[in-house]
Every structure is written in structure tokens, then in C-alpha cells.
Amino acid sequence: MRAVLQRVSSASVVVDGSVVGSIHEPGLLVYLGVTHADGDAEVAWMVRKIRDLRMLDDERSVGETGAPVLVVSQFTLYGDARKGRRPTWIAAAPSAVSEPLYEAVCSALEAAGTRVQRGLFGEHMEVSSVNDGPFTVLLETP
């Protein structure tokens, strides 16, 4: 599982002209990608990192501050462009595998008390954000 975490002042996701998820205060925008071997252990690890990583002001975390998180599914995090001019998506898990794990991450964050907004899985999304810093971290499960 891979995630790109960006500290933001605000962020939103629009699908077909309608806002489906947004945060209007400092928090994190999380792009989440899933690969074939991911499962419950990777979900638990990623949730801990998203909640506990000290990315917010004064080196505080989402878990400490109660800041919101906007989670957007992004299979392209597993794109491989090392050869040729067209990326391959072989490492990205199919939606039958990745959608339940994406939902599991969101649900586990909520169960841990995090305010979560979501994009729409599998849809063409327009994501807008105001990056704060900028401060961006790439996470990959061990």
C-alpha cells in the first residue's frame, strides 16, 4: 500500500460538477494506492501512520489535533514508467481488491476518531487543494 500525504489548508473533490468530499481547515489530503499483496496488516499500518505522523503545525499529528483527512483512491501510485513512454499499471490491485481496502482504511480512521472525507472510488475526480508548506510525504507499507 502506498500513500501520498499532503498537509493542506483546504481540499476538495468534485465528481460530475458536485463536491463529494471536502475539508475547509488545516488537515491532510491522502492519495491512497493498493497493490495485490495488501491486506489487513497493511491497512492497520497505514491508518497508524496517517493518524500519528507529525505533519501538522507544531509537529503535531491528526490524532493529536483532531484535524480532518480527505482520502482519495489513486491506483496510479502503482504506475511504472521506467520503460518506454507509457506507464504500466500491473502493480496496482484491481478494484475488486483495492476498493474494500480503501474503504477499510477510511473506516478504520473513522473508528479511531478521525474526521474523514472521501473521494469516489473509481470515478474521474477533480481534486483541488491548498498545500500548506508545502509538506508532502510518501508512505509505503513495509
Confidence category of residue 79, pLDDT binned at 50, 70, 90: very high
Output phi, psi for 97, to 5 deg.
-95, -45
Predicted confidence (pLDDT) per residue in 81-127, tens digit: 999 999 999 999 999 999 999 999 999 999 999 999 999 999 999 99
> In the predicted model, what is the mean pLDDT of residues 58-64?
97
Predicted confidence (pLDDT) per residue in 125-141, tens digit: 999 999 999 999 999 99
Grid coordinates representing 51 are 493518524
pLDDT mean across residues, the chain: 97
Q: Which of 97, 113, 94 is nearest to 50 (CA)?
A: 113
Catalytic residues: 74-76
Domain 2-140 CATH (choose: 3.40.50.720, 3.40.50.410, 3.30.70.520, 3.50.80.10): 3.50.80.10
